[in-house]
Amino acid sequence: MKLPPIGENQICLGVALEVPEPLASRIQQARGYLLDQDAHLPPHITLVPPLALDQDQLPAVQAHLAAAVRPHRPFQIRLHSTDTFRPVSPTVFLALQQGAQACAALEADLRTGPLACQTDFDFHPHVTVAHQVDQATLNRAQTALASFDESFVASEVDLWQLQDAGAVTHLARYCMAGQS
Residue 86 has phi, psi (to 5 degrees) of -60, 145
For residue 67, the SS3 value is helix
Specify the CATH number of the domain 12-175.
Answer: 3.90.1140.10
Residue 179: the pLDDT is 52
Locate the domains of the chain by residue range: 12-175
**pLDDT value at 33 more than 80:** no
Residue 44: the pLDDT is 94
**pLDDT value at 32 more than 90:** no
Per-range mean pLDDT, top range of 1-15, 33-47, 55-69, 160-174: 55-69
Query: What's the predicted TM-score (pTM) here?
Result: 0.92
Residue 55: the pLDDT is 95
Question: Around Cβ 33, how many Cβ atoms within 10 Å?
Answer: 15
Residue 5 has phi, psi (to 5 degrees) of -60, 135
Rounded to whole angstroms, how far apart are CA atoms 144 and 142?
Answer: 6
